[in-house]
Amino acid sequence: MALAQKTFGRLSLYRHILDTLLAEGTRSLFSHELAQLAGVTAAQVRRDLMPARITGSPTKGYEIRALVHAIGGLIDARSPESAVLVGIGNLGRAILAHFHGRNPKLSIVAAFDDDPTKVNRILHGTVCYPLDDLPTTVRDQGIRIGIVTVPAAAAQTVADLLVQSGVTGLLNFAPVRLQLPANVYLEEIDFGMSLEKVAYYTRGRVAKGGR
């Protein structure tokens, strides 16, 4: 029933690529073209699209508009969803800016910080509140998604607060492994690990003429 995480990630990527192509005026493409743009194989693309139950033509490929719509049907919510962000530092601001006005189905509706100088204003279209207001805001608006961009030391406390307030999905940027109840979905992004990975797999590669 539910999509595998890897499949989901690729579908989201395909849609993003297809949106860009649509904006450029392209109307249709073949599986191998999308594959090339996404960095996967053509067979992978076709397999990923199976649950979308969309069908392409051997001579024209897939109609992009239909494809985007079908992918949306698989991965989007029926009704718009809201998220909150906690931690209005550089990273928090970058994320607010990034998402502002980007996706009407999924938006950040409030930001929180315990620093009084950072709150009670609007940043990139998002209202900023003191941290104390978090529980009531989240509860009253029935918000289910939280984004954690506070320093490592505060992350577990903030995550607990979010979960107690009713959040069941978290996106954590703090470099700590959060311990959460099993009913909460957790996605972690760790810059440090990513950079170490790049460093590791970069070693031994040859610049220029390598293949």
Partner DNA sequence: GTCACATTGTGAATCTGCTCACGATATGGC
Partner DNA sequence: GCCATATCGTGAGCAGATTCACAATGTGAC
Instruction: Name all contacts of 98-102 with Cβ < 8 Å and 24+ positions apart.
Output: 100/124, 100/125, 100/126, 101/125
CA–CA–CA angle 147, 148, 153 (5° rounding): 170
Taking the CA atoms of the chain, what radius of gyration do you get in angstroms? Answer: 20
Please say which residue, 59 or 183, places its beta carbon nearer to a copy of itself.
183
Tell me the C-alpha distance between 142 and 166, whole Å. 7
3-state SS class at 174:
coil
Among 42, 54, 91, 154, binds a copy of itself (CB under 8 A): 91
121: which residues sit within 8 A by CB, 6+ positions away? 127, 128
191 binds a copy of itself (CB under 8 A): yes
> Coil, strand, or helix at residue 92?
helix
What is the crossing angle of helices 134-141 and 152-164, to 10°?
Answer: 40
Chain residues in the site for DNA (CB under 7 A): 4-7, 30-32, 40-44, 46-47, 49-50, 54-62
**Is 13 one of the binding residues for a copy of itself (CB under 8 A)?**
yes
Instruction: Return the residues of window 117-146 that contact a copy of itself according to CB under 8 A.
Output: 144-145
- Count of residues engaged in binding a copy of itself, rule: CB under 8 A: 69
Task: Name the binder of 61 from DNA, a copy of itself, none, CB < 5-8 A by kind.
Answer: DNA
CB of 156 to DNA, least distance (A): 24
Could you tell me the two tokens for 126?
């998002």
At residue 206, φ and ψ (nearest 5 deg) are -105, 130
Taking the complex as a whole, the smallest distance from the CB of residue 19 to DNA amounts, in Å, to 18
Work out how close the CB of 201 gets to DNA at its nearest, in angstroms, rounded to a whole number: 13
- Phi/psi for 148 (5° steps) reads -110, 115
Scanning 24-32, 42-50, 129-137, 196-204 for contacts with a copy of itself by CB under 8 A, the matching segment is: 196-204
Closer by beta carbon to a copy of itself, 43 or else 152: 152
Where along the sequence are the contacts to a copy of itself (CB under 8 A)?
Answer: 2-3, 5, 8-9, 12-13, 16-17, 20, 37-39, 75, 77, 81, 83, 89-91, 93-95, 97-99, 102-103, 106, 144-145, 147, 166-171, 175-177, 179, 181-185, 187, 189-203, 205-208, 210-211
